[in-house]
A and B are shown apart, each in its own frame.
Chain A
Amino acid sequence: DAEITQSPRHKITETGRQVTLACHQTWNHNNMFWYRQDLGHGLRLIHYSYGVQDTNKGEVSDGYSVSRSNTEDLPLTLESAASSQTSVYFCASSPGTRAGVETQYFGPGTRLLVL
């Protein structure tokens, strides 16, 4: 079955380290998104991509970067992890047919703790 996966599911790192969170989908979706979920804030968009080589900043992009070298993957990199980036990170994808608004389907999430 097609799916969207994230790895690792749990990560502990130290302040200042570079961390990469993986997101892989097998639906052949064009659109991919990264969100963070924090208590009291709901989900906030970090970065998104509408296709290979396309990346865009979301609402809370400072300190994060993404790259899209193929359709299936959108890794999220924390360039120098900060305690404020302790959060639960969700990846999502949608078909990207440009026919209008589409439903986004989410991965299982990655819990990141920055000490």
Chain B
Amino acid sequence: AQKVTQAQTEISVVEKEDVTLDCVYETRDTTYYLFWYKQPPSGELVFLIRRNSFDEQNEISGRYSWNFQKSTSSFNFTITASQVVDSAVYFCALSDSNSGGSNYKLTFGKGTLLTVNP
């Protein structure tokens, strides 16, 4: 069965520090997708990125970057020069073809609470 582990329950950093949020996944499928969502204190869930299992290129979007390594089943998320507005819970999620007969469902990790202090 698919599983997503976010071992870091909480992380606290000082503004301008770089921070990496870890995500390790388990799947028996060769085709799968990985996602990151952000949940700021206001509570909504904001989509950040989606990657498929065939594309291991790292991605950078402004201060955000993602490192996908199939060899270690990891999809880690780094925020460079963190800001107070980055404070949120971050969720990693997996969707594969074993998600109940269709690859539309998401399995979420338990989330990492990031606090960026001024």
Binding site for B on A (CB under 8 A): 31, 33, 35, 40-45, 48, 50, 56, 58, 88, 90, 92, 94, 96, 100-109
Give the nearest-CB partner of B33 in chain A.
A101
Contact (Cβ within 8 A) A108 B43: yes
**A103-B50, A109-B43 given as contacts; is B110 within 8 A of A40 (CB)?**
yes
**A101-B33, A103-B50 given as contacts; is B103 within 8 A of A45 (CB)?**
no
Q: A interface, by DSSP: helix, strand, loop or mixed?
A: strand
Q: B interface, by DSSP: helix, strand, loop or mixed?
A: loop
Binding site for A on B (CB under 8 A): 32-33, 35, 37, 43-45, 47, 50, 52, 91, 95, 100, 102-106, 108-111
Name 25 interchain pairs, CB-CB below 8 A, sorted by A. A31-B104, A33-B105, A33-B106, A35-B108, A41-B110, A42-B91, A42-B108, A42-B109, A42-B111, A43-B45, A43-B106, A48-B104, A50-B102, A50-B104, A56-B100, A58-B105, A96-B104, A101-B32, A101-B33, A101-B95, A101-B103, A104-B47, A104-B106, A106-B37, A108-B43
A residues less than 8 Å from B32 (CB atoms):
101
Contact (Cβ within 8 A) A94 B104: yes
A residues less than 8 Å from B37 (CB atoms):
106
